[in-house]
């Protein structure tokens, strides 16, 4: 089963250190059969608290291969440049689908007080100006907390029908994960691939999903990003961010 490495950049304090990281860690990927699906490409912030300056989504053949790479001497040494240069949320999630009844068991006692009424969600917090629809798009949700489990289960029961015919592929759905870096609360991870940014946006803003989404936004806190697939060279990444 594949495993997915997910990084969300939340700030840069020394760009030169980050650029060193991008250079010195390249050799550590050799022989790992890693696929970089997105590296600092255009993205939308759909929901949740920022800041978000960039995102990386990579796939390893297995969780064990990913952990072996992350803990390897070469990468442990190299990532110190990134840690000194920037702040990231870093997660490693197993691919796969967990049935709704088995998701985030620690939240099963969460009840809304007072009851939450489903209301239309606000629009995106950030929208990429230009996108390349020849690339797939990745919808990443990080669940930060649940205050109404019943409302969230209603969302899970209804979301499937909204995805029919969209070409979406669920890569991670509340499967086991490890928080590698970042001082944040994350209790669940969802990663879905769409054929393109435009198709993902049409689904997200369409009438079918807009009717269902408030059950989630009224029941739980998520950081939601829509990330274009592809790879930007280091000199084009997060221009204007940091020193």
- CATH of residue 128's domain is 3.30.70.100
- pLDDT of 117 above 80: no
In a domain, 114, yes or no: yes
Work out the average pLDDT over 108-130: 66
What is the domain range of residue 74?
3-236
Spatial CB neighbours of 32, under 8 Å, sequence gap ≥ 6: 60, 65, 69
Average pLDDT, the chain: 93
Work out the average pLDDT over 115-137: 73
Q: Tell me the C-alpha to C-alpha distance, in Å, between residue 11 and each of 14, 41, 74, 186.
A: 9, 16, 24, 18
Strand 220-228 with 43-47, pairing: antiparallel
* Residues in a beta bridge with 90: 7, 181
Question: Which percentage of the chain shows pLDDT scores above 90?
Answer: 88
Exposed, middle or buried, 217 (CB in 10 Å: 0-12/13-18/19+)?
A: buried
Q: Tell me the C-alpha to C-alpha distance, in Å, between residue 86 and each of 31, 65, 137, 144, 238.
A: 27, 25, 25, 21, 12
Please indicate whether residue 113 or residue 103 has the higher confidence score (pLDDT): 103
Q: Tokens 């950030």: give the residue.
A: 126
User: What pLDDT is recorded for position 122?
Assistant: 59
Question: Which percentage of the chain shows pLDDT scores above 70?
Answer: 94
Q: Tokens 């997060």: give the residue.
A: 238
Work out the average pLDDT over 28-35: 96
User: What pLDDT is recorded for position 118?
Assistant: 41
How many Å apart are CA 143 and CA 186, to the nearest integer? 6
In a domain, 242, yes or no: no
DSSP 174: S
On whether the CB atoms of residues 91 and 180 are closer than 8 A, the answer is yes
DSSP 167: T
- pLDDT of 113 above 80: no
How many Å apart are CA 188 and CA 110, to the nearest integer? 15
Segment of 128-132, 167-171, 183-187 carrying the highest mean pLDDT: 167-171
Q: How many CB atoms lie within 10 A of CB 68?
A: 13
Q: Which helix (H) or strand (E) holds 133?
A: none
In a domain, 190, yes or no: yes
DSSP 4: E
In a domain, 35, yes or no: yes
In a domain, 128, yes or no: yes
Work out the average pLDDT over 169-173: 98
Banded model confidence at residue 111, pLDDT cuts 50, 70, 90: confident
Name the domain count of the chain: 1
Exposed, middle or buried, 154 (CB in 10 Å: 0-12/13-18/19+)?
A: middle
Query: Is the model's pTM score more than 0.85?
Result: yes
In a domain, 196, yes or no: yes
- pLDDT of 55 above 60: yes
In a domain, 204, yes or no: yes
User: What pLDDT is recorded for position 210?
Assistant: 97
In a domain, 56, yes or no: yes
- pLDDT of 242 above 70: no
User: What pLDDT is recorded for position 29?
Assistant: 96
């Amino acid at each position: 089963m594949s495993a997915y490495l997910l990084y969300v950049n939340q700030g840069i304090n020394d760009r030169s250190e980050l650029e060193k990281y991008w250079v010195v860690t390249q050799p550590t990927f050799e022989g790992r059969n890693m696929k970089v699906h997105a590296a600092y490409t255009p993205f939308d912030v759909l929901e949740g608290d920022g800041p978000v300056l960039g995102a990386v989504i990579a796939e390893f053949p297995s969780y064990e291969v990913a952990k072996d790479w992350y803990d390897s001497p070469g990468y442990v040494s190299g990532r110190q440049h990134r840690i000194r240069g920037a702040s990231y949320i870093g997660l490693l999630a197993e691919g796969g689908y967990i049935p709704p009844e088995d998701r985030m068991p620690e939240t099963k006692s969460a009840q809304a007080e007072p009851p939450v009424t489903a209301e239309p969600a606000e629009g995106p917090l950030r929208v990429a100006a230009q996108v390349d629809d020849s690339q797939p798009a990745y919808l990443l949700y990080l669940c930060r907390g649940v205050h109404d489990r019943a409302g969230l289960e209603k969302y899970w029961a209804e979301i499937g029908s909204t995805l029919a015919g969209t070409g979406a592929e669920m890569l991670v759905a509340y499967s086991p994960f490890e928080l590698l870096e970042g001082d944040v609360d994350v209790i669940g991870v969802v990663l879905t691939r769409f054929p393109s940014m435009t198709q993902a946006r049409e689904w997200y803003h369409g009438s079918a999903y807009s009717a269902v989404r408030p059950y989630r936004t009224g029941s739980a806190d998520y950081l939601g990003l829509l990330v274009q697939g592809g790879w930007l060279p280091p000199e084009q990444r997060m221009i204007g961010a940091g020193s």
